[in-house]
A = this chain, B = another copy of it.
Amino acid sequence: MGMSGNVKIIFQPAGRRGEVETGISIIEASRRLGVDIESLCGEKRVCGKCRVRIEEGFFEKYGISSTGEHASPWQEEEGKFITPSERKEGFRLGCCARVEGEMLVFVPEESRAGKQVVSKAARDIPIEWNPAVKCFYVEAEKPTFQDPTGDLERVLKRLDSECGLRNLTIDCLALRRLPDCLRKGDWKVTVAVWMNKEIIRVMAGRVEDYYGIAIDVGTTTIAAYLCNLATMKVVDTASMMNPQCKYGEDVMSRITYSVMHEDGLERMSNDIVEGLNSLVVQACESTHPPKKKAKECETSAAPPTYLCLKPDDLMDMTIVGNTAMHHILLKLNPEHVGLAPFPPVVHKSLDIKARDLGIRVNESAYVCILPNEAGFVGADNVGVLIAEEPYKSETMQLIIDIGTNGELVLGNKDKLISSSCATGPALEGAQLSFGMRAAPGAIERIKIDPETHEVDYKVVGRETWRSYSKPGEMGTKGICGSGILDVLAELYSSGVILKSGRFNPNQKTSRFRKNAGNHQPEFVIAWAEETSIGKDIVITQKDVRQIQLAKGALYCGCKLMMRRLGIRNVDVVKIAGAFGTHVDRQKALIMGLFPDCPIENILAIGNAAGDGARAALLNRKKREEADWVARNVEYIELTVEKDFEREFMQAMQIPHMKDDFPHLKGVVPDEILHQK
């Protein structure tokens, strides 16, 4: 076993085994073998989420000769996340330790990137029917010696005289299908035309229904809406984790990955394209009968209960995503959008043949990628805007899209400004000691008794709260994004932490303690016996600071934007994204995530970015509207605004000066609201 060549590696408990070349990191080896290890920071050695245990002696135990080291030498950075005693047990960071010899790697439950429970349903927003792809039925004449004109020209003649379509072009792949379709349909065909410009498919006979798909490529989740373009009905919604998560949790990590690895952009792009392809297949399969009844699709005798769609049936696709997702999908170098002054490669919407991106829908179909605004405020935010249309509204709206990055839009029909703030992934549960995605076992709701400081909570995937369960039934793993705000708001309202974010020295339970290792104060949310990871789940002082930084960034952004527009109050706060759906509006207000507003005017608008993609799919005018709004929203770079640092420091307090939050009166106890 030398320093070069391939070596065996096994990952437990997944049981995945295979050979990898020596010298690669354990986390890279795990990717090759299809094991997902958490890597929130994109291998920058700062998140500590990729802790694994190397069982050195394994191969010797089974008589396989093993000389030399199994893993590369210990790195200083690992000491931040691994105690000396853990180090003795074989713990390492997957991003630091390189494979030097055969090894068995145990991935602890908290380091596994689990399958997330995603909820991105399509909302009912009003959309006018005007899809970019429309179908036309025509009956052409058969060729004769008197009129031996070609196939295409016969069809074009009818499209002109009966549908008013002139100067049409045809995609060469659609043209290839034309002669057989015409003869199969006895010179009667249905023609799919894109933008009244180009024939993208010809089908024999009369076809009434045709389909398209709208996609929201989120940093963490990809959501798809399969729609009937004729009826505008949503046939199915499907979603999956963004397969790029393994390269880093947030957009900066992914940009870093693409800069640091020569084939990084290529790999991440291919991963997302393959993701889109499997999502398309998944959405289509939902229109098929259960496998055992597959024959129903083939016989035409029974009424067509199932649509039995194939990817080839999808005639159009729209995509939204933040600027980084947009660039990576299109294989556009994202390096510069990550460097001041953050110029993207392109703003305007793009119509690209799906086949040029490797996306497998109808072979001649286009994909419309909506435009970017500026910096990281990308096509996803444009999607939100064309779904919510604040530029048509009299009321002053603040639209917050808290994904892995925070995107803000403020304004009304007179003016719209946008900005992006580095909330970081803390509000989604990352970078915290026990943060995790909204997967089963994640704490999503919590209550802390102000009198006793006792804790009650519920986890994703289990209806019953802790107080009504046996400890061993909970299987608690960590705290997810929507839960983290609950935790902080409760810690604050109950007096466990002060408005500065520091732990109150006057505590009422043994849940408050100093960590045995680093002597930092921490508060136990769940005792080890309630968890599936075998240790206490705590909130540390550092965790509180992380949340404060995130919420401070968001609140500071809102305040600076309001200052720019010269307003003191907003009429409506709209929270987009999964965060908005799950968050407790009152607790968000308590935490001061955004400026004060009557609670009834704080609205969760769900996956508005996806709604925008769907609107653009079903109405081509919305694409023009998207290009217009992307050009006309003024982008504010917050970090260069006057007094940014001072505003940011102030914004970290919980809650802010009482005068700014009249709607909190009665919600938070007065003695807490008025503390100094």
Shortest CB-to-CB span from A330 to chain B, Å, is 6
Q: Tell whether, in the assembled complex, residue A356 and residue B179 are in contact, meaning their CB atoms are under 8 Å apart.
A: no
Closest to A637 in B: B145
Q: Is there an interface contact between A345 and B179, defined as CB atoms closer than 8 Å? A: yes
Assess whether B344 is in contact with A151, with CB atoms less than 8 Å apart.
yes
Contact call B347/A143, Cβ cutoff below 8 A: no
Residue with the highest number of chain B CB atoms closer than 10 Å, among A145, A149, A169, A179? A179
Beta-carbon contact of A343 and B149 below 8 Å: yes
Residues of B within 8 A of A176 (CB): 330-333
A169: nearest chain-B partner, CB-CB: B351
> Which chain A residues in 136-155 approach chain B with CB under 8 Å?
143-145, 148-153
Beyond A145-B637, A149-B347, A169-B351, whether A175 also contacts B332 by CB under 8 A is: yes
A342 adjacent to B172 (CB under 8 Å): no
List residues of chain B with CB within 8 A of the CB of A344. 150-151
Q: How far is the CA of A388 from the CA of B222 in the complex (A)?
A: 58
Q: Contacts A333-B180, A343-B151, A372-B150; is A352 near B145 (CB within 8 Å)?
A: no
- Bound CA–CA A385/B341 (angstroms): 56
Query: Given A179-B332, A330-B172, A356-B173 in contact, is the A342-B151 Cβ separation under 8 Å?
Result: no
**Chain B contacts of A637 at CB under 8 A?**
145, 148
Distance in Å: Cβ of A262 to nearest Cβ of chain B: 14
Interface residues in A332-354 by Cβ distance below 8 A to B read: 332-333, 335-336, 340-348, 350-352
How many residues from A make CB contacts under 8 Å with B? 46
Chain B residue nearest to A156 in the complex (CB):
B348
Residue of B nearest to A172 (CB): B352
B346 touches A153 (CB 8 A): yes
- A175 touching B346, Cβ below 8 Å: yes
Contact B175 A341 (CB under 8 A): no
Complex CA gap A331/B180 in Å reads 13
Cβ A341 vs Cβ B145 within 8 A? yes
Is A374 interfacial (CB-CB < 8 Å)? yes
A375 at the interface (CB under 8 A from B): yes
Residues of B within 8 Å of A169, CB to CB, are 350-351
- Do B347 and A152 have beta carbons less than 8 Å apart? yes
Residues of B within 8 A of A635 (CB): 148
A64 at the interface (CB under 8 A from B): no
Instruction: Give Cα A356–Cα B356 distance, bound, in whole angstroms.
Output: 9
Whether the Cβ atoms of B148 and A341 lie closer than 8 Å is yes
Interchain nearest-CB distance for A195 vs B (Å): 12
Contact of A350 among B143, B172, B333, B375 (CB under 8 A): B172
Whether A345 touches B149, Cβ cut-off 8 Å, given contacts A169-B351, A333-B180, is no
A372 to B151, CA, bound (A): 12
Give the shortest distance, in Å, between A335 (CB) and chain B (any CB).
Answer: 8
Q: Is A597 an interface residue (CB 8 A)?
A: no
Chain A positions 58-93 with a Cβ under 8 Å from a chain B Cβ:
none
A357 within 8 A of B: yes
CB nearest neighbor in B for A367: B172
Q: Does A178 make an interface contact (CB < 8 A)? A: yes
This protein's copies in its complex: 2
Chain B residue at minimum C-beta to C-beta distance from A334: B179
Report Cα–Cα, A350/B335, bound state, in Å.
Answer: 38
A260 CB-CB contact with B under 8 Å: no
Measured between alpha carbons, how far is A485 from B382 in the docked complex, in Å? 72
Task: Tell me whether A301 is interfacial, beta carbon within 8 Å.
Answer: no
Minimum C-beta distance from A623 to chain B (A): 13
Is A175's CB under 8 angstroms from B330's CB? yes
Inside 8 A of A148's CB, which chain B residues have their CB? Answer: 341-343, 374-375, 635, 637
Contacts of A350 in B (CB 8 A): 169-170, 172, 175
For residue A516, CB closer than 8 A to chain B, the reply is: no
Q: Which residues of the other chain, B, contact A302 by a CB distance below 8 angstroms?
A: none
Q: Which of A151, A343, A344, A374 has the most CB of B within 10 A?
A: A343
From residue A342, how far is it (CB to closest CB) to chain B in Å?
6
Shortest beta-carbon distance from A578 to chain B in Å? 28
Asked if A343 and B150 sit within 8 Å, CB to CB, the answer is yes
Closest to A151 in B: B345
Contact partners of A179 in chain B: CB under 8 A: 332-333, 335-336, 345
A489 to chain B, nearest CB (A): 36
Q: Is the CB of B345 within 8 A of A178?
A: yes
Given known pairs A347-B150, A347-B153, A348-B152, the reply for A145 and B340 (CB within 8 Å) is yes
Note all chain B residues with C-beta closer than 8 A to A173: 356
A152 to B330, CA, bound (A): 14
CA distance A593 to B647 in the complex (A): 94
Task: Evaluate contact between A345 and B145: CB separation under 8 angstroms.
Answer: no
**CB of A32, distance to nearest CB on chain B (Å):** 26
Residues in A370-388 with C-beta less than 8 Å from chain B? 372, 374-375
Q: Which chain A residues numbered 147 to 199 have a C-beta less than 8 Å away from chain B?
A: 148-153, 169-170, 172-173, 175-176, 178-180, 183
Residues of B within 8 A of A347 (CB): 149-150, 152-153
Which B residue's beta carbon lies closest to that of A343? B143
Chain B neighbourhood of A640, CB < 8 A:
145
- In the complex formed, the residue of B with least CB distance to A374 is B148
What's the minimum C-beta distance from A198 to chain B, rounded to whole angstroms? 11
**When chains A and B are docked, how far (Å) is the Cα of A160 from the Cα of B252?**
34
List of B residues within 8 angstroms of A183 by Cβ = 336
CA–CA, A145 to B341, complex, Å?
5
Residue of B whose beta carbon sits closest to that of A147 = B341
Over the window 621-644 of chain A, the binary record of Cβ atoms lying under 8 Å from chain B Cβ atoms (1 yes, 0 no) is: 000000000000001010010000
> Please, could you name 9 A-B residue pairs with CB atoms under 8 Å apart, sorted by A?
A143-B341, A145-B341, A148-B341, A150-B346, A151-B344, A151-B345, A151-B346, A176-B331, A179-B333
What residues make up the interface of A, taking CB atoms closer than 8 Å to B?
143-145, 148-153, 169-170, 172-173, 175-176, 178-180, 183, 330-333, 335-336, 340-348, 350-352, 355-357, 372, 374-375, 635, 637, 640
**A-B complex: 7 closest residue pairs judged by Cβ atoms:** A143-B343, A148-B341, A152-B346, A150-B344, A145-B341, A150-B347, A172-B352
